[in-house]
Amino acid sequence: MTRDEGWRARVILTNMSGVPQQNTEKTFYLETFGCQMNVHDSEKVVGTLVQEGYRQVESVEQADLILYNTCSIRDKAEQKVFHRLADYKKLQAQGKKFGVLGCVAQQEGEKIFERAPHVSLVCGSASYRNLPQMLTQLEGKPHAGDSVPVDSGFLASLGMTSVGNDVGVTNRGSELETRDSQLVRITGLDDRQTDKCFETEFTARTNPHRGYITIIEGCDKFCAYCVVPYTRGKERSRTSQSVLAEARQMADLGYTEIQLLGQNVNSYRDPDGKKTFAELLAAVGEVPGIRRVRFTTSHPRDFGRDIVEAIDAVPTLCDHVHLPVQSGSTRMLDAMQRLYTREQYLERIAWMKAATRKISITTDVIVGFPGETEADFAETLSLLDEVGYDAVFSFKYSARPNTPALKLDDAIPEEEKSRRLDVLMARQRDIQVARYKNYIGTRCEVMVEGHNQARGQWIGRTSQNKTLNFTAPQTASPKIGSYASVLVTRSFPNSLVGELEDAATSCAENAREMGHAVV
Ligand code: SAM
Ligand code: SF4
């Protein structure tokens, strides 16, 4: 399906465990590493596999096909994937097939076959739309270790040509390879140039009340430390028409919260030129039935005042903005190729602080980037004080393949990175202790997300994205996915505690039992 054909959805059978049930023998297991983008990619991959007649299972032992959707943003994440592959290598003898999807797949490409020869499928996120064809190949052709004659008609149908004993590939998007006629490996390694988005007819959303919609894929910003532009391809947006069609479908199915996703969600450019990002936000917020709209991650360079104006004007837009700063030092921001200064970043913070609604602000910080001095680090700490974030996701700099930062001198020793991280987290903890105290005595609307039996508390999430655990009288049993008003009585550095005041805001349409809609 092309981007312009728009997005269509159907509901297929679901069950209580989140595993779509189909009467089929083909089974798969999928494990996901990394960010929300990866989680949502996996929801779409599951939808695609179910559509192809597969049934999701909950353990590697039960599966015919074992897939890992990988993350390579930091070294540790990447290592986990190879450990998993090594752990389960012995299962190949039972005829199980292995696939590596996502960022590690794109980054390492065919090298994965050398490091883990039992892998049959390597597919980067920019090639997910070709998954159905790749699955056909995987099923129709024996996998690694089997001898296969390559059928030229079959290859032609995939846009490939056969040259002698080798397979000459005419389409990097979906490759079938033979090596000395002994091996069939399937790769989907679309390069940065693809301008196609992964729009699926089916998405196996794992939560029936709130769900993600990807509006923009890839990244063109090339920060000096980051692999994303190399692993996820160039920046490409979906049409606003297609995004809104998906939002309406979700609302029809009972979803009340939508989170718009993109590596840089606010770099969104409608290919049809109909809506700016702020206008799209407002339009999703105005879809009947939608009560909350979130968006992540925003990039400071593309963060305009119109986004703040939209939050002020449309009550369904959540009063929370995640705006990664990375460093409080303009010198480091320059070295990181972020292309904004501390002052420009603070200007955007000032717009949010001037809003009528109280906007909660969160950020990402990297400590120990090459060349970061004590003075640079002190500037990051002072920025935390100045902004007063509600949460900070802090990371030690991790050197990544292909990135320009690899060439920089003055690497910071690991122990020093750890020390700075500890200092930063302690400072932010103090800031949060003070900030969260301010909520005591206020009323917040929460979406009810669960129940903690042991603590006798319900788990709620506020529009500002804070966890607000609350107690309720025995007679009141808030439904998961409903909305309730809670009086805040206590605070912790990362969460609030309160008492249910009014469960009357519960939506009737949310009363359905926890299940897993496959949209
Ligand atoms: N596009 C977003 C932005 O520019 O702010 C960030 C997306 S990135 C997937 C998520 C976060 O991972 C970044 O904000 C950064 O803090 C962190 N990160 C990325 N590359 C890193 C690296 N090489 N080492 C440590 N942290 C890294
Ligand atoms: Fe990575 Fe920078 Fe792109 Fe964010 S903007 S995904 S940090 S390259």
Task: State the DSSP string of 263-317.
Answer: TTGGG---TTS---HHHHHHHHHTSTT--EEEEE---GGG--HHHHHHHHH-TTB
pLDDT score, position 3: 31
Question: Which has more confidence, 9 or 193?
Answer: 193
User: Ligand 1: distance of its center to the CA of 444 in Å?
Assistant: 31
Does residue 464 contact residue 311 with C-beta atoms inside 8 Å? Answer: no
- Number of other residues whose CB lies within 10 A of the CB of residue 165: 11
Give the closest residue (by CA) to ligand 2 atom 5: 221
Question: For 9-94, where are the E strands, in sequence order?
Answer: 27-32, 55-56, 65-70
Partners of 444 in beta bridges: 486
pLDDT tens sequence across 451-485: 999 999 999 999 999 999 999 998 888 999 999 99
Atom of ligand 1 nearest to the CA of 364: 16
DSSP-assigned letters across all residues of 108-158:
HTTHHHHH-TTEEEEE-GGGGGGHHHHHHHHHHS--TTS--PPPHHHHHHT
Atom of ligand 2 nearest to the CA of 232: 6
pLDDT at 507 over 70: no
> Residue 22: which pLDDT band, with cuts at 50, 70 and 90?
low
Cβ–ligand 2 contact at 219 (below 6 Å): yes
Atom of ligand 2 nearest to the CA of 222: 8
Q: Which ligand is nearest to the CA of 370?
A: 1
User: Ligand 1: distance of its center to the CA of 428 in Å?
Assistant: 19
> Residue 164: which pLDDT band, with cuts at 50, 70 and 90?
very low
Distances (CA, A) of 3 to 8, 109, 415, 418: 11, 26, 48, 44
pLDDT tens sequence across 225-238: 999 999 999 999 99
Cβ–ligand 2 contact at 229 (below 6 Å): yes
Q: Which ligand is nearest to the CA of 74?
A: 1
User: Ligand 2: distance of its center to the CA of 222 in Å?
Assistant: 6
Atom of ligand 1 nearest to the CA of 399: 23
Q: Which ligand is nearest to the CA of 406?
A: 1
Percentage with pLDDT > 90 across the chain:
71
Q: Which ligand is nearest to the CA of 296?
A: 1
pLDDT score, position 243: 97
pLDDT tens sequence across 254-299: 999 999 999 999 999 999 999 999 999 999 999 999 999 999 999 9
Cβ–ligand 1 contact at 264 (below 6 Å): yes
Helix, strand, coil percentages, rounded to 5, for the chain: 35, 25, 40
